[in-house]
Amino acid sequence: MKLTNEEKQALIDLANEARRRAYVPYSKYPVGAALRTKTGRMYTGANIENAAYPQTMCAERVAIFKAVSEGETEFEVIAVVTNNGGSPCGGCRQVMAEFGLDTVVLIADGNGTLQKELTVAVLLPEAFTPDHLL
């Protein structure tokens, strides 16, 4: 899938806007995500922390779970924005892999500048996928 620079920036901007709604009283590390499905629908997410730390939810998973809860399971691209262009955690990489290793991942910093563009397959080599359960 080939994305135009305008499409990339629009997704990054949406993720950056979602990042402003992050609930991060402990880490002070807001993350935003914007997901576009193969049907063209968009879903955003922000990380949501909890005093019981394991209950925290990452922005990427919020966006993906919102999409899945609305019946969408085929994704084209997800943009992730952090202050410093940080990469998705291992748990998020595994959730992304569940829905397609070819999903494009755009990683940007808080200024909205694209830092990296890759696929889930590159982020999570030798991923454990549903095919392994057959």
CA distance 65 to 61: 6
pLDDT at 82: 98
pLDDT at 121: 98
Rounded (10°) angle between helices 90-98 and 59-69: 20
| Residue labelled with tokens 């202050």 | 83
pLDDT at 81: 98
State mean pLDDT over 75-99.
Answer: 97
| Residue labelled with tokens 């993720």 | 15
The answer on pLDDT for 1 being more than 90 is: no
Q: Which of 49, 60, 72, 76 is catalytic?
A: 60
60 included as an active-site residue: yes
User: What DSSP line would sit under 55-79, residue for residue?
Assistant: G-B-HHHHHHHHHHHTT---EEEEE
* Burial environment of residue 99 by CB neighbours within 10 A (0 to 12, 13 to 18, 19 or more): buried
State mean pLDDT over 34-50.
Answer: 98
CA distance 68 to 42: 12
Distances (CA, A) of 98 to 9, 26, 66, 111, 128: 25, 29, 15, 30, 8
CATH number at residue 10: 3.40.140.10
14-40 confidence digits (pLDDT tens):
999 999 999 999 999 999 999 999 999
Number of domains in the chain: 1
Domain encompassing residue 27: 5-133
Q: What is the pTM of this model?
A: 0.96
Query: Residues 120, 127: contact at Cβ < 8 Å?
Result: yes
* pLDDT-above-90 percentage for the chain: 96
Confidence tier at 134 by pLDDT (50, 70, 90) = confident
